[in-house]
Chain A
Amino acid sequence: MNENYIKIESKAKIENLASIRVCVTSFLSNLNIHFDELMDIKTALSEAVTNAIDHGYSQKNDGIIITEATIIDNEKIVIKVVDFGTGIEDITLAMTPAYTSKPESEHAGMGFTIMESFMDEVIVDSKIDNGTVITMTKTIRKRKSS
């Protein structure tokens, strides 16, 4: 098995969201992925990191987020987003389309729906007051024709 990965440790600040996206996207572009699939992964990643910052730490800025992107055998991508925040009380409810725990802050409640639609598999592992681990995988189907 051929494996390559990057791991980004960052403060849970919303300003870091774009940097994490750029970093992971740049790492994955080694694979010659088709633009559409790269955008899908980028969007799913953005949702997971946004959740970690906004829900895991309620934007308190004092936590740490670890984002890991792994490429296995040049075709399988695993994205892992870890926070050590509040955890999710009811995972099934949190993953319901259009559900939001913060209706006042104008969220669409589409985060998990986007992750599940754009990736092959999404695994949520959460423990109250311990944090949440989101693991998303996708196998590359479309390559750039170069």
Chain B
Amino acid sequence: MKYKYQNGKLTIYLEEELDMNSCRTLRGVIDGYIMKYQPYELVLDLSGVQFMDSSGIGLILGRYNLIKLLDAKMTVVNATSNIRRVIELSNIKLECVQYE
């Protein structure tokens, strides 16, 4: 995982496979950066993610809830078509997901 912080915007570049095993570590790491920088916007960039199951949805939703508590904004970008299908199945509307 890589990250970039610039002008109040925290971008997290997620990589490889998002499943229950990787998500449980990532959760703490990402939340650590969120608390450290208190960004006004969090961007989750999924361009490096090759596989994601519902644990990934849990990871996205959990960060979304935290970001809302901080009164900040969150966007999810660059999901491949296969990952997009998994996200679209979650009945919780993620208005923050941007494609392409």
Contact = CB atoms under 8 A, between A and B. Distances in A.
Most buried by A among B52, B59, B61, B90: B90
Interface in B1-54: 17, 19-21, 24, 27, 51-54
B89 A117 contact: yes
B76 interface: no
Contacts of B19: 17-18, 21, 46, 50
A108 B88 CA distance: 13
Given A17-B21, A106-B62, A50 B86 contact: no
Contacts of A108: 54-55, 57-58, 61, 90, 92
A47 B53 contact: yes
B54 A111 contact: yes
Interface string B54-79: 11011101100000000000000000
A119 to B, nearest CB: 13
A42 interface: yes
Interface-centre pick from B17, B55, B59, B81 (highest chain A CB count, 10 A): B55
Chain A contact residues, majority secondary structure: helix
Interface in B82-96: 82, 85-86, 89-92
A14 B91 CA distance: 26
A114 B21 contact: no
Nearest to A39: B82
Given A17-B19, A17-B20, A50-B19, A114 B91 contact: no
Most buried by A among B20, B24, B58, B81: B20
Nearest to A42: B51
A74 interface: no
Contacts of B81: 36
25 contacts: A14-B21, A18-B19, A18-B21, A36-B82, A39-B82, A42-B51, A46-B51, A47-B54, A50-B53, A50-B55, A54-B20, A97-B91, A98-B90, A98-B92, A106-B27, A106-B61, A107-B55, A108-B58, A108-B90, A108-B92, A110-B54, A110-B90, A113-B89, A114-B54, A114-B89
Interface of B: 17, 19-21, 24, 27, 51-55, 57-59, 61-62, 81-82, 85-86, 89-92
